[in-house]
Amino acid sequence: MKVVVGLGNPDLKYQNTFHNLGFMALDRVANLLGANFTKEKFRSIIAETTINGEKVLLVKPQTYMNLSGEAVREIVTFYKLDLNDLIVIYDDFDLKAGELRIRENGSAGTHNGMRNIISLLGSEKFSRIRVGFKPETNIQIPLIDLVLSGIKPEDKPLFNSVLDLAGSAGADFAKGASVQEIMRKYNRKN
């Protein structure tokens, strides 16, 4: 079994914000795999499919970003999931806008949703796809306001491009590609 989680916030007002880049990338994974988000379970909206006889769950936690770990832990516990079969896609201020970084494990950095997942799973040893959104110029607003701000129309082509790559990386993981293979293929700088 493979589980691909995209992080975001459930309300419509957050739909086009940087904090929902994980949801946006997961929509691309679902599209590539022909899966639809039709189930509500584990405090998440879930798309389910089967690839080469293996069950795949695409998960959008509905717990709000800072409590994402609650939904992820429920799934990991229920399915007795090996953390090698989990990958999380999320926005990352520590990377420049348009950068994509896949890692086998690591810290949460500045991301509260990842901090919550790591805390509740009791481990950093799961893969992640980080979608950068740090602006090139210094920002004059608090980070919390930036992550909840909308993506500007002029920046959409850049983010659509990196989200397409993140979606392809997530789909490759769901199809059984190794994280090392995915890292070689997709890690890129802006």
The residues annotated with a catalytic role in the active site are 19
User: CA geometry: angle at 159 spanning 38 and 50, to 5°?
Assistant: 30
User: What's the rounded Cα separation, in Å, for the pair 189 and 96?
Assistant: 8
Residues in a beta bridge with 3? 57, 86
The rounded radius of gyration (Å) of the Cα atoms in the chain is 15
Sign of CA dihedral 92, 97, 98, 103: negative
What is the secondary structure of 147-180 as a DSSP string? HTSBPPGGGHHHHHHHHHHHHHHHHHHHTT--HH
